Every structure is written in C-alpha cells, then in structure tokens.
Amino acid sequence: MYYARPWVEVFHGFADYLTLTHRCKDGKPLAYKTVLGYMGCALHMAKNHASIIQTDPLTTHTTTLFFTCLDPGSSTDPATWYRKLKDMIVRWGFQHSLHTGEDLDKSDTPLYPEDVRLISRALALHGTAEAAER
C-alpha cells in the first residue's frame, strides 16, 4: 500500500491522537464510538476536498483508490487497512474500559412510556392555570 502511505500515516496518526493523547474537558479520553465517528467524518471531508483539488491523473487514481476504504463492501488494501484501524480503536476502547473500570455506555437514561405520558401532560397544561411556573 505504498501508494497511499501519506494518507495512511495522516489518518493513523489522527486515530492515535484521538485515542491516546486527546482528553475531554473532564480529563477523560474520548469514547471509542466518538473516535470512530470523528475518523469517518475526517475521511469524508478529506475525500470531498481531494476531489476538488486533484488535477494530476496519477494522483487522482491513487486518491480515489485510497478512499475506497469508505466503501464497506470494498476488498481493496485501503479498505482492509481502515477495517483494521477501526478494530484497533474498538479494542482500545474496551481495554481502556477494563483498565479504568469506566462504563462504555455513556448514553442517557431512556425515556419510558410513563415519562412520555408525564411530559405530554405537562405540555398540554402549558398556558393554563394548572401549568407549573418556572
């Protein structure tokens, strides 16, 4: 995959930064799902930008081949590399969670039918004498 080496080095370095170096305001690392999302966004942005600025046919072919990594059904070398990178990020997330004891699920408590009923009731009372004032 020598032809895509600059792209691979940039995005592998970005993944290393997001997983190993970057810290949120609370001092904790990003969740692995967030890192995967950032990686996908960065790759799509780079693909869009590269398609605008490419003029050399050889470079265009190389760049186009590299961005086949975004196609989930692709079996190209870049696609294999990106799948391995994503697997590495997920493994890092689980290993970090095991080591620190942090919960991987950072989602909020789900809304249940009773919650929805109470919210709907409160909204229905808006503007009436029985409405709660804040």
Summarised one tens digit per residue, pLDDT across range 52-97 is 776 667 667 788 888 999 999 999 999 999 999 999 999 998 898 8
| Structural domains in the chain (count) | 1
Residue 129 in any domain: the answer is: no
Assess if residue 17 is contained within a domain. yes
Nearest to 42 by CA among 22, 69, 64: 69
Q: Poorest-confidence range of 65-74, 96-105, 112-121?
A: 96-105
Give the predicted TM-score (pTM) of the model.
0.69
Domain membership flag for residue 100: yes
Structural domain contains residue 96: yes
Where does residue 131 fall: left (phi above 0), alpha (psi -120 to 50 degrees), or beta otherwise? beta
The answer to whether the Cα torsion of 50, 47, 89, 93 is positive or negative is positive
Full domain range(s) for residue 53: 2-108
Mean of the per-residue pLDDT values of the chain? 83
In a domain, 23, yes or no: yes
More confident residue, 130 or 64: 64
119 lies in a domain?
A: no
Structure tokens at 118: 């109470």
Diameter of the chain measured on Cα atoms: 72
Residue 40 lies in a domain: yes
